[in-house]
Amino acid sequence: MVLVAGGLGVSPEVFHDAFSRVHPVAPGSYPDDQRARQNKEVLLGALSRYGITNQQLDAVSDHYRYQPGPGQLWPTKPAKIQAMVQNGIVTSFEITDGGSGYTSQPTLSVPGYRIAPVQVNLSFGKDFSKNGSIASVILLR
């Protein structure tokens, strides 16, 4: 839901509230036309006050639509991060490409090196190529 909210430019709480009134069908099945129309009316009724149009909702929903099956999620792009190492200890990270499609903090490791706990911060927004990207990696000491 955080990717859809980000793609629409609303907070996850706003989207969650709107979606809480939708009546989805069972996993792996598709709604009939009447159910699809009703659900869209519910979403637009709640989201239109934030400037969300039918076209925006369709574009974001289509982009992040779950594809049933093993390993079939919404579009993702792995991040590229370089570890800065000094005296065998990771001292910082440089994000060369934040990737996209992350919905929760990914695990970060540097094989062969000790690493302090890290905090990975994500960024969400309307640009699909950057929505759900890694914005920063902070070493917690």
Same domain as 6, residue 57:
yes
Which region, left, alpha or beta, applies to residue 29 given φ > 0 means left and ψ of -120 to 50 means alpha?
beta
Q: What pLDDT, in 10s, does the model give residues 48-105?
A: 999 999 999 999 988 987 665 666 678 889 999 999 998 888 999 999 999 999 999 9
Which residue range(s) make up the domain with 26? 2-63
pTM comes to 0.82
Cα 137 to chain centroid distance, Å, stands at 17
What average pLDDT does the segment 100-120 reach? Answer: 89
Where is the domain boundary, 12, 38, 63? 63
- Which positions ≥6 away from 36 have C-beta within 8 Å? none
User: Considering only 7-21, 53-67, 96-110, 124-138, which range has the smallest mean pLDDT?
Assistant: 53-67
Q: How much of the chain, in percent, has pLDDT values that exceed 90?
A: 63
Could you give the CA distance from residue 56 to residue 52 in angstroms, rounded to a whole number? 6
Other Cβ atoms less than 10 A from the Cβ of 50: the count is 14
Residue 72 lies in a domain: no
E strands, the chain, are: 80-86, 89-97, 118-123, 133-139
pLDDT value at residue 141: 77
Could you give the CA distance from residue 49 to residue 58 in angstroms, rounded to a whole number? 17
pLDDT value at residue 62: 87
Residue 116 lies in a domain: yes
Same domain as 54, residue 91:
no
Where is the domain boundary, 63, 91, 111? 63
Residue 12 lies in a domain: yes
Could you tell me the pLDDT band of residue 12, with boundaries at 50, 70 and 90? very high
Q: How many domains does the chain have?
A: 2
Helices marked H in 48-137: 54-63
What average pLDDT does the segment 34-43 reach? Answer: 92
